[in-house]
């Protein structure tokens, strides 16, 4: 942005000038055949199907601008949608973004938000192909993601069978740990604090799991137990995981938990927004995945070492 524009606001520039600045200089991937500039974009669907998901972030509900930079918020908005595409066994190809903010928002902050979105999209080889802007009383970001299954069937939550193993790709409990550190004003453990602001989904592992024959899969957005409950209920199975298998995550969080007077196992079992992937497999799990437990016959439920977990199991939207 030019020096004379440094103090420009969204209302001062106007909608179309803002959009022009948000899309200027961006390079789209080859499968985006028509990007921003018309009433809609055109994105190629290689195998004739498109995976679609959407998610919203509301200021002071899903992020705080006194904790997060706009760049952080942009990365998070893309990452949490990309994780849903991964959980179906696909790869993200394009994103459409709706952005609402007060009219006196500095346009430089909107551009920083877009930069964060493009940073995360570039990690995936995806593009941001369109969207909308509107005046709102607080920041609201709505993202729709498009994805490609690469000719494979989608991996749903409903395919787990007794005898399958349960495995995870990615790390657990980091976002909840970071949130607690921010909330309690604990200024060290910077990496964990950042993991709350910007999740790190294990990009590419969803498609790898699909190729390896995953029978069911989801991302850990609400909490490990809450999201495994979705698989258990959809599949009509009992899932049992072990504390021992979670030891690497618990150990990684132990020092921060001691500082915050918290239980690291609770962070691991009930903390959301890590956007790790959890799946069930009938055979050997692929590289990058570690076994957490097993699928057994019985009423649909999730247990830890055979017992019901009596702590928090995950995030509730309402």
Residues comprising the binding site for substrate?
62, 273, 315
What is the C-alpha separation between 277 and 270, in angstroms, rounded? 15
Binding-site positions for ATP: 131-132, 157, 221
What is the C-alpha separation between 161 and 152, in angstroms, rounded? 20
CA–CA distances in Å: residue 130 to residues 28, 36, 266, 307: 11, 5, 39, 48
Binding-site positions for Mg(2+): 39, 54-55, 84, 132, 219, 222
Binding-site positions: 39, 54-55, 62, 84, 131-132, 157, 219, 221-222, 273, 315
Contacts of 102 (CB under 8 A, 6+ apart): 10, 135, 136, 137, 138
Contacts of 15 (CB under 8 A, 6+ apart): 133
Whether 117 and 83 have beta carbons less than 8 Å apart is answered as no
């Amino acid at each position: 942005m030019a020096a004379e524009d440094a103090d420009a606001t969204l209302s001062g520039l106007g909608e179309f000038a803002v959009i022009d600045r948000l899309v200027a200089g961006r390079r789209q991937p080859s499968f985006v055949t028509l990007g921003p500039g018309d009433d809609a974009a055109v994105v190629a669907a290689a195998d004739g199907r498109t995976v679609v998901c959407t998610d919203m972030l509301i200021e002071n509900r899903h992020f705080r601008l006194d904790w997060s930079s706009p760049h952080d918020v942009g990365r998070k908005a893309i990452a949490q949608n990309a994780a849903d595409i991964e959980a179906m066994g696909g790869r993200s190809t394009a994103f459409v973004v709706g952005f609402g903010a007060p009219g006196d928002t500095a346009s430089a902050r909107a551009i920083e938000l877009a930069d964060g979105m493009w940073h995360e999209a570039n990690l995936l080889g995806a593009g941001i192909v369109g969207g909308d802007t509107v005046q709102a009383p607080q920041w609201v970001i709505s993202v729709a993601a498009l994805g490609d299954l690469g000719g494979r069937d989608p991996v749903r939550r409903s395919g787990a069978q007794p005898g399958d193993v349960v495995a995870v790709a990615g790390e657990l409990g980091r976002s909840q740990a970071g949130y607690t550190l921010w909330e309690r004003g604990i200024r060290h453990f910077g990496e964990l604090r950042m993991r709350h602001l910007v999740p790190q989904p294990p990009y590419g592992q969803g498609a790898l799991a699909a190729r390896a024959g995953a029978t069911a899969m989801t991302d850990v957005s609400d909490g490990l137990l809450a999201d495994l409950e979705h698989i258990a209920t959809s599949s009509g199975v009992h899932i049992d995981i072990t504390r021992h298998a979670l030891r690497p995550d618990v150990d990684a969080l132990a020092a921060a938990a001691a500082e915050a007077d918290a239980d690291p196992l609770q962070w691991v079992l009930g903390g959301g927004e890590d956007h790790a992937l959890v799946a069930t497999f009938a055979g050997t799990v692929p590289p990058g995945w570690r076994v957490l437990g097993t699928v057994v016959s019985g009423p649909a439920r999730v247990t830890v070492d055979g017992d019901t977990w009596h702590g928090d199991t995950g995030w509730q939207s309402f």
